Amino acid sequence: MTTHRGTTVLLLDGGRELAAAANLSKDSTGSWFGTLTFPASVRTPELLNLRHGQLRVDGREGKFDRQDTADWLDSPNGQFRIKILGNGDAPF
């Protein structure tokens, strides 16, 4: 299993970029998944309702889906964490 634990950039509509702490894994079939963690201060309606997105890891981009928009409810205190499921090639 390949992993990426470190910084990533969430690419938002309009060209806005948001840094996140990523904990991502890729299994032997090439499927990838994990979490993105942000400071609680960036918890906006745009992120709360995010269903699909794109991120960049070390210059490589990858698309993802977010299946449950209530996933952030178990975030650690002071953080906003979402769970993602890769859609296509992993960017790590």
SS3 state of residue 63: strand
Residue 87 amino acid letter: N
Two tokens, residue 63:
């698309």
| Residue 53: other Cβ atoms inside 10 A | 20
25-73: pLDDT as tens digits: 999 999 999 999 999 999 999 999 999 999 999 999 999 999 999 999 9
Half-sphere exposure of 22 (CA within 13 A, CB side): 29
Both tokens assigned to 79: 């953080």
| pLDDT in the model for residue 10 | 98
pTM of this structure: 0.94
